[in-house]
């Protein structure tokens, strides 16, 4: 099995139009992907999804439906979120082409990846974007840089397919990477420790906590690194009690 197919999950968040789900399924199958997750779709299953999926009905038949993004991505170790918006605090950002090359290297080392696509009308919220390790953008002409969800998925899946045809050097990492759930727990542990040490005014934290979350997601810790940090934070909390 192509590792891209096995280890990459496409995640659609609160899709309004079932036809878009079918179009995404078709785009995925065109490029050899099969793992589709839906977060609170407005209408699914639906005949419009079936009609637009064409011969990708098997992708629809194996869709996983979740009530939250966190639940859908908890076993993934690298999360990419598609975004076209400017942020007050910048997040590590890659083009679809750059991300595809990186993802190919990850899946070659059996690392699970999720790619988040937002709502048709407003994309992903700031809070949802912060769940990602990196943001993924599709460069387009500034006069009209708007792509619908099926187009966006097709471009990303195409880049993944192209990257899968190339050979990459194996990862240098000697321990498995933290999953999204484990990384979230580390960040929560860090935030609790900061509050216990009274390093940040809880009524006016400004942007420092968001910046620290960005740092952890950018660092992409492995099991050895993450577990040591958890032990360190535990020792700090024990000392200050």
User: Is the per-residue pLDDT at 231 higher than 80?
Assistant: yes
At residue 201, the pLDDT reads 85
Tell me if 88 is assigned to some domain. yes
60-78 pLDDT per residue, tens: 999 999 999 999 999 999 9
10 lies in the same domain as 55: yes
**What are the distances in angstroms from CA 163 to CA 59, 98, 101, 149?**
22, 9, 5, 21
Mean pLDDT, rounded, of the chain: 92
* Average pLDDT of the residues in 221-240: 95
Pick 20 or 165 by higher pLDDT. 20
Asked if the structure places residue 44 within a domain, the reply is: yes
Shared-domain flag, residues 149 and 220 = no
Q: How far apart are CA 26 and CA 52, in angstroms?
A: 7
Domain end position, chosen among 164, 195, 226: 164
Task: Identify whether residues 110 and 42 lie together within a single domain.
Answer: yes
Q: Is residue 10 a contact partner of residue 24, using CB atoms and an 8 Å limit?
A: yes
Residue 168 has pLDDT above 50, yes or no: no
CATH number at 112 reads 3.40.1280.10
**Cβ atoms within 10 Å, residue 237:** 14
pLDDT band at residue 169 under the 50/70/90 scheme: very low
Arithmetic mean of pLDDT, 140-154: 92
Do 124 and 152 fall within a single domain? yes
Number of domains in the chain: 2
| Residue at 142 is within a domain | yes
Residues 165-173 have a mean pLDDT of 61
Does 151 share its domain with 186?
no
Alpha carbon distances (Å) from 175 to 24, 109, 228: 34, 11, 13
Range of the domain at 220: 180-240
Nearest CA to 181 among 23, 38, 60, 68? 68
* 191 and 105 belong to one structural domain: no
Q: Is residue 85 part of a domain?
A: yes
Residues 83 and 147 reside in one and the same domain:
yes
Residue 110 lies in a domain: yes
Could you tell me if 55 and 107 lie in one domain? yes
**Is there a domain that residue 173 lies in?**
no
Q: Are residues 70 and 157 in the same domain?
A: yes
Nearest to 108 by CA among 33, 165, 156, 28: 165
* Span 86-138, pLDDT tens digits: 666 689 999 999 999 999 999 999 999 999 999 999 999 999 999 999 999 99
Report the pLDDT value the prediction gives residue 212, as an integer from 0 to 100.
94
Instruction: Answer whether residue 170 is part of any domain.
Output: no
Is residue 171 assigned to a domain?
no
Q: What CATH number has the domain bearing residue 220?
A: 1.10.8.590
Residues 20 and 128 in one domain: yes
pLDDT above 60: residue 178: yes
């Amino acid at each position: 099995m192509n590792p891209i197919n096995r280890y990459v999950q496409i995640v659609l968040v609160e899709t309004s139009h079932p036809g878009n789900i079918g179009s995404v399924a078709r785009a995925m199958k065109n490029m050899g992907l099969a793992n589709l997750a839906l977060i609170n779709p407005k209408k699914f299953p639906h005949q419009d999804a079936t009609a637009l999926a064409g011969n990708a009905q098997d992708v629809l038949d194996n869709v996983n439906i979740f009530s939250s993004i966190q639940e859908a991505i908890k076993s993934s170790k690298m999360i990419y979120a598609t975004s076209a918006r400017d942020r007050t605090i910048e997040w590590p950002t890659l083009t679809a082409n750059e991300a595809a090359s990186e993802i190919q290297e990850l899946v070659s080392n059996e690392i699970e990846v999720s790619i988040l696509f937002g709502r048709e009308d407003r994309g992903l919220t700031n809070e949802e974007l912060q769940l990602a390790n990196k943001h993924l953008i599709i460069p387009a002409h500034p006069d009209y840089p708007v792509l619908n969800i099926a187009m966006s998925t097709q471009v990303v899946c195409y880049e993944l397919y192209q990257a899968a045809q190339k050979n990459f050097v194996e990862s240098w990492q000697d321990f498995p990477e933290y999953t999204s759930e484990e990384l979230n727990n580390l960040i929560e542990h860090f935030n609790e420790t900061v509050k216990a040490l009274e390093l940040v005014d809880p009524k006016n934290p400004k942007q420092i906590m968001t910046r620290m979350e960005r740092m952890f997601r950018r660092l992409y810790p492995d099991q050895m690194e993450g577990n040591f940090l958890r032990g360190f934070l535990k020792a700090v909390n024990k000392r200050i009690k």
